Structure 1
Amino acid sequence: MSAVAERTNERPLYGSGSVPRRTGIFGLSIWASSFAAVGFLTSLIVGVSSDVLKGFILAAVFAVVIAPLVIRWGHRSMYEVMQLKIQWWKRAATGSTVYRSGPHSRIPGGRFRLPGLLASTTLHVGVDRLGNPFGMIYRRRGAEYTVVLECWPGGDEALTTPEKDLMTADWGAYLAGLGLPGDIIAAVAIVESIPATGYRLGLEVEQSIKQSRSEIASRIQREAAVEFPSGRSQTLCRLAITFKATTRERRTEPEEMAAELARRLPAAYEDLLNAGVEASPMSAEQIVAFVHRSYNPSAERELEELEILDESHGIDWEDAGPAAAVTKWDYYRHNGVVSVVYEMKAPPESVFTDEVLKPLLRPHDDLDRKRLALVYRPFSAGDATKQVNRDHKDARAAVNQKSGLVSAAAEMRVETTEQARQEQVRGAGLVRYSALMTITCATGSEVPNASSILESLSARAMLKLVRAYGMQDAAFAAGLGVGVLLGEHTTTSKIARNG
């Protein structure tokens, strides 16, 4: 009897995987090890063949050059930090940190185009084989197409532990399945909280009391519809899937890609039912609405009211951007509000339950607008096998290099990579993932308090977040889930990043 109770109360624990990296000598990165080896050999040759003093001086110079590769600030090497700073100074000097649109701007046609990485994108429409219209964001430079699914997760209703575990496994299977076709390069899951306007509730109340004969009851319901949403938030969920065009026709003709997605899209949202998520494709008008609302929160009420009345908002993709935006080193100001974007510095170091992200996902009274974007980058089946074997080999090499007591983190990395190899052989997929967290405040004075609250919530969620310094505008666009993938727009050198 007691054994059965003990099994029932067990909660499944999950791991965060391992960070892919190449380890060289003495635990240094592969680039730092290569430079150190070259510097040591060069200094030794000079010292032996010419002058010992010159050899020591040359060794000291190499040490100074290599040090910024080894010393890290946050999760970046010092070379990468310096390169980001130089690029930021160039942006500030050229005025590219300030964006102005509209009739009195330099934007062609006086449009309110989206800024930055979204400026060159276009929006196209299609209809899938089930008759559902969908919008398709096209980025010509990378020949990438992004569709957005509106999602309604099951929520936090009473579920047994086996049911939760099964839903989590089905979500993992769904992500693994994204890597099978080979042309899906990313899936971004977005959960955001925005203030509730109460329009939808008011409309439902008005429809429900049309046939009411009690004036008192009708008045009570109207007053409740006004008071109930006050100070509350509504949670919205989306899933953006980015496809890579694989033929010449699809790279240049969005209509060809729309025909392909019309065939494949229903399976993409019907398979989510196994993970407890209902989903449907968002139309082009819905995509424009949430993007415009994100850059211009003041339009939120009008957009929701038009949606409830089933009327078109009349905003084109070329006019979905802000009228003004200014990018600072550590925040982003757009249309009178201030947003701060955080990026994931490191995943949870220890095992966790399926409720680990609840503190970040749950609406908070002091954070009116917040958005968590989980970015998944699936490997294809062939690349996944090579990656897990490479990570395991590197983890074992890092342990074998040390003659003394091996750290627990190094041993854990070996176990994690070995488990990944075994799971991959059994049919599991391999996915890279990261996270972006965005908070939006009405004024700049609210940012310090909101930031401290968010840092506290991220600590409770076992997620290490750091501000996306020097790239707040790009990170804001990436957190929307409209096809902007920061890894494809990296401006720092590979040597600096892998230092």
Structure 2
Amino acid sequence: METLSKAPRTYGNWRKPTSPGVLGLGMLPTIAMLFGLIVTIFTMIISMALAVLFVILMCLALGPLTMRDRHGRNGMQWISARVAWTMAKARGQHLYRSGPIGRTPPGTCQLPGLAAKTRLHEAVDAYNRPFGLLHIQSVDDYTVVLQCDADGAALVDDDQVDTWVAYWGQWLANLGNESGLVAASITVETAPDTGERLREEITGNLHSEAPELARRVLTKVMDDYSEGAARITTRIALTFEGRGRAARKRRTAQEMATEIGTRLPALTSSLSMTGAGTAVPLSAAQIAAAVRVAYDPTVAVLVDKARTEGGLGLRWNEAGPFATQESWSHYRHDGAFSITWAMSDAPRGEVFATVLHRLLAPHEDILRKRVTILYRPHDPGTAARLVERDIKDARFKASQAKRASARDTVGLTSAEQTALEEATGAGLLRFGMLVTATVDHVDKLELAASTVENLSASARLVLRRAYGAQASSFAAALPLGLVLPRHVRVPQALRESM
């Protein structure tokens, strides 16, 4: 008899959007360069010195755009980031104080930065389940947060893992058909277990007439089992735009709660086949508690105790920190210190389903670790236009050199494969990743940074520390539904053309 072994399934074929241009420039700088050359030719007729001066100025303006680091950022982006950080620090915008000595309303601890203009509402869905609805007033977005009990891949057959991945891909593809949905994020957070849940489970089920031996064993388990244990939570944030696509008018929070509440049962039930387990919406108090613990990990025990005693009683204007201080390379919030990285390049080539296993797993050198995968789906009409444009851009880039490089050839093949998959019904979406490591002392930051860099190498990810944007990146990694491109003043089309 012959035994046929099935090769493990691999995944890949993602590509980064590019802008066609010459000399490593994007489309907009290329147009500017061609226009500058035309102006230089006409200037030479008037004065050669003036033409030379114009060429020097043009080189100074376009020169930084031709220099790129290993993360694909050009010199202009580095200069603008440093200038923006210096100006913000000079105005004192890197400091935040709330509470009795702060500038916020007395007795409140509002969220800082991008999350300052958020309001939390309570509503019920079609299954009569309460859920919290976050209103991001600066961009008029509404976010609902789901909590999942992921099954995990331990002792699971490869066929079952492949099935989970297939259904997860289908769930992501269906997001493009959801009217008004602009983004989704999946946050996997690992932290030390406080032991309060185990204590509540044991004390709540302990019989008054139980044998003495059983009591002592359960007491020993209750006291010792939680030491060194880790708690892994998975949350999914779905962000909807507040303006209707048809009328383009601003809708109230009550109208959005009614619309989202009717769609939540379908969104949560479709997650059951993806390995996410039972998905339930978080209430307003649970969302506030999750954010409060993220900014101040020392209150995790108090929050769990309050939950076991019947209720949290935490309001949204109490979920923020008392004080924060943003530095160029890290972020201090209350009694903790954090560093946030952003993914600059996805794994090249093909990967297995376990590529993120070590990055998502708990680590003893990091107090709390948060890995957030950000998705922005495209509707079918936009997806068709994007894949055709990517093919044209890839062909243009491959034709720039007399002999196309291997990367250009692979990029063209990937673009054609993506267009073929989209034409057969696959979804198209953009994705990114934020990784936040939190420690309880500033001396542990470098050790946590080295740990994350090693874990990202095993996941074949290229991470870049969010220099000068630690506060906003920390908030974006929380399950709040903050879509960073919607908060940037420079339009996305202009940034991509650079």
TM-score normalised to the size of structure 1?
0.94
Superimposed CA distance per residue, residues 127-176 of structure 1 (whole angstroms, 9 cap, x where no aligned partner): 11111110000122322110000011111232222221121111111111
Aligned partner of 2:190 among 190, 193, 218: 193
Cα RMSD after superposing both structures: 1.9
Change (3 A) 1:122 1:249: farther
Whole-Å separation in 2 of the counterparts to 1:108 and 1:57 = 55
Map 1:177-326 → 2, pairs under 5 A: 177-211=174-208, 213-247=210-244, 251-277=250-276, 278-309=278-309, 311-326=310-325
**Which amino acid letter does the alignment assign opposite residue 163 of structure 1?**
Q
Whole-Å separation in 1 of the counterparts to 2:211 and 2:248 = 64
The answer as to whether partners of 1:76 and 1:497 remain within 8 angstroms in 2 is no
Whole-Å separation in 2 of the counterparts to 1:207 and 1:128 = 30
Map 1:25-424 → 2, pairs under 5 A: 25-47=22-44, 49-50=45-46, 55-73=51-69, 74-211=71-208, 213-247=210-244, 251-277=250-276, 278-309=278-309, 311-404=310-403, 406-424=404-422
Higher mean C-alpha deviation, range 430-439 or range 488-497: 488-497
The answer as to whether partners of 2:288 and 2:315 remain within 8 angstroms in 1 is yes
Secondary structure of 1:153's match? Answer: coil
Whole-Å separation in 2 of the counterparts to 1:393 and 1:401 = 13
**Which amino acid letter does the alignment assign opposite residue 34 of structure 1?**
I
Whole-Å separation in 2 of the counterparts to 1:409 and 1:424 = 22
The answer as to whether partners of 1:16 and 1:348 remain within 8 angstroms in 2 is no
Whole-Å separation in 2 of the counterparts to 1:210 and 1:138 = 46
Gap runs ≥5 in structure 1? none
Whole-Å separation in 2 of the counterparts to 1:60 and 1:15 = 44
Percent identity over the alignment is: 33
Superimposed CA distance per residue, residues 350-387 of structure 1 (whole angstroms, 9 cap, x where no aligned partner): 21111111111011111120000000000011111111
Gap runs ≥5 in structure 2? none
Whole-Å separation in 1 of the counterparts to 2:385 and 2:216 = 67
Superimposed CA distance per residue, residues 424-451 of structure 1 (whole angstroms, 9 cap, x where no aligned partner): 1111110000000001110110000010
Shift, 1:398, TM fit: 1.0
The answer as to whether partners of 1:196 and 1:233 remain within 8 angstroms in 2 is yes
Whole-Å separation in 1 of the counterparts to 2:210 and 2:251 = 61
Whole-Å separation in 2 of the counterparts to 1:168 and 1:399 = 33
Whole-Å separation in 2 of the counterparts to 1:331 and 1:221 = 43
**Which amino acid letter does the alignment assign opposite residue 95 of structure 1?**
G
The answer as to whether partners of 2:388 and 2:419 remain within 8 angstroms in 1 is yes
Shift, 1:190, TM fit: 0.4
* Number of residues of Structure 1 aligned to a counterpart in Structure 2: 493
Higher mean C-alpha deviation, range 154-163 or range 437-446: 154-163
1:465 aligns with 2:463: yes
**Which amino acid letter does the alignment assign opposite residue 265 of structure 2?**
P
Runs of 4+ in 1 over 6 A off after TM superposition: none
Whole-Å separation in 2 of the counterparts to 1:339 and 1:408 = 39
The answer as to whether partners of 2:20 and 2:26 remain within 8 angstroms in 1 is yes
**Which amino acid letter does the alignment assign opposite residue 71 of structure 1?**
M
Change (3 A) 1:372 1:250: farther
